[in-house]
Each structure stands twice: as structure tokens, then as C-alpha cells.
Amino acid sequence: MLFALPKNNNNTQQKHEEFQREAVPHMDILYNYALRLTGNPEDANDLLQETYLKAYRFWDKFEKGTNCRAWLFRIMRNSYINRYRKAVKTPEHVDYDEIKEFYNTIREQSTDANDLSERLFGQLLDDQVATAITDIPEEFRTVVILCDIEGFTYEEAAEFVDCPIGTIRSRLHRGRKLLRDKLFKYAHERGYEVKDK
């Protein structure tokens, strides 16, 4: 029989198996991050695909035994930033006084959280909330997604973003303020009637 001599090489198979075992199970969490980051399923799909391909290509660079999810996450975030760099807007000036004044008024009438939430954000649709999230600058958006939507601790988020915990805290602080302002504006632009007297 005319067979070529074997080359003893088990890297590819081993790599594939490792990748299947360690990287593929995090697909859902990455998909959700992509969805919140881009705000639409098409871009999220592309971003997810790009992330996994890069991850596979650079699997040798992944330090075994470290946090694979955080590694994948950083690849996705960098891909996103590179791809949409041009679209990044400088953060607009935000005036928080409007919502604070409004809240002060309704807070005197009610102490019930559901009632207050309803009056603040009204009947915003899920899509509008998703849009509000994509409207805040990426550095704040990412931290809000990680901590408030995905429920990661500051420590975990710090590993994902590769920054100190104090940075997570301050970005979260500002991110929530930016977001609540957007949500409030959306809710009230929509013509949601608020009678505060």
C-alpha cells in the first residue's frame, strides 16, 4: 500500500478538544454581552463569530488554568472597540438635575419602590432599555452590563476588563447615572404622562 509516513503530531486534535471543553461553554454569556454591546442581533452574531475565531487562532496564547471566560471576554471587547472605534462619541454633557428634581417630588408622595420605578421609567419596552444601554459610552456600558445585568462581582468585572476594582466602582457609579438619565428621558419623551401634583 502506498501510504505516506506518519508525522507524529497530536497538537491539532488536543487543541480542538481543549477549545471545545474550555471556550465553547461560555458562548451564551458572550452572546449576551455582544447583544448588549452592539444593541442588535446581526452585529452581535458577527462579533461572537469573530471572537471565537480569534480565540481559536490564539488558543496557544491562552494561559492554561487562568480564567478562560475573562480571556474570551477581553477578545470580544477589543474586537468591538476596534470595529466600532470610529463610531465612539465623546460623552455628552449630562444634567442630572431634572431626574433628581422629579424624583424628589414623587418621593414625597410615595415610598413604594415599584410605584416609584413605574413613575420614573414608566412602560419602557425591553428594546428601548436595550437601546438606552447602547447609548452610553462603552467603558461605562461594559461595566453596567457585567455588574448589573450579568451579576458579576467587582472583582470578576475587574479581571474581565483588566483594570483595578476602584475603576469598576467609579465606572459603575457614573454608568448608572448616565443610564438612569437616558431611561428617564426615553420614558418621558414617549409621552408617558406623569402627574406629579
Partner 1 sequence: MNECKKIQQFITDAVDNRLKEADKEFFQSHISKCHSCRNDYELDVLTKDFVKTKISRQTTPHEIASRIKQDIDKHVAQEQRTRGVFAQYPLARAAVIAMLVFGIAFVLYFLNSPDIQNTVQAADMMDKSIENYGLFLAGTIQPQQIGQNVDELRDYFQERVEFPVALKPVKDCEWVGGVLSDYDGLSLAHLVYKLPGGIVYVYQTNWNAVLEGDKISLSNGAVTSLNQTGWYVNGTHDEYSVVMWLYNDETVCTAVSSMEKDQLRQMFAEDTQE
Q: Provide the binding-site residues for partner 1, judged by CB under 8 A.
A: 1-14, 16, 19, 24, 27-28, 31-32, 35-36, 41, 45, 48-49, 52-53, 56-57, 99-100, 103-104, 107, 113, 116-117, 120-121, 124, 126, 129-130, 133, 144, 147-149, 154, 169-170, 172-173, 176-177, 179-180, 183
Q: Which is nearer to partner 1, 86 or 108 (CB)?
A: 108
Q: Is 125 helix (H, G, I), strand (E, B) or coil?
A: coil
Closest-CA residue to 80 (of 27, 127, 134): 134
CB of 86 to partner 1, least distance (A): 25
Query: What is the spatial distance between Cα 146 and Cα 2, in angstroms, rounded to a whole number?
Result: 57
Nearer to partner 1, 78 or 170 (CB): 170
State the nearest-atom distance from the C-beta of 13 to partner 1, in Å.
4
Alpha-carbon distance of 84 to 143, in angstroms, equals 18
Minimum Å gap between C-beta 45 and partner 1 is: 5
Residue placing its CB nearer to partner 1 in the complex, 67 or 167:
167
Q: Which helix (H) or strand (E) holds 177?
A: helix 165-189
Find the shortest distance in angstroms from Cβ 161 to partner 1.
15
Nearer to partner 1, 70 or 99 (CB): 99
Nearest to 56 by CA among 84, 89, 20, 83: 20
Place of cell 461605562: 140
Q: How far is the CB of 196 from partner 1 (least distance, A)?
A: 15
Cα torsion 38, 39, 42, 43 to 10°: value is -10
Closer of 94 and 124 to partner 1 (Cβ): 124
Dist. CA 148–CA 146, nearest whole Å: 6
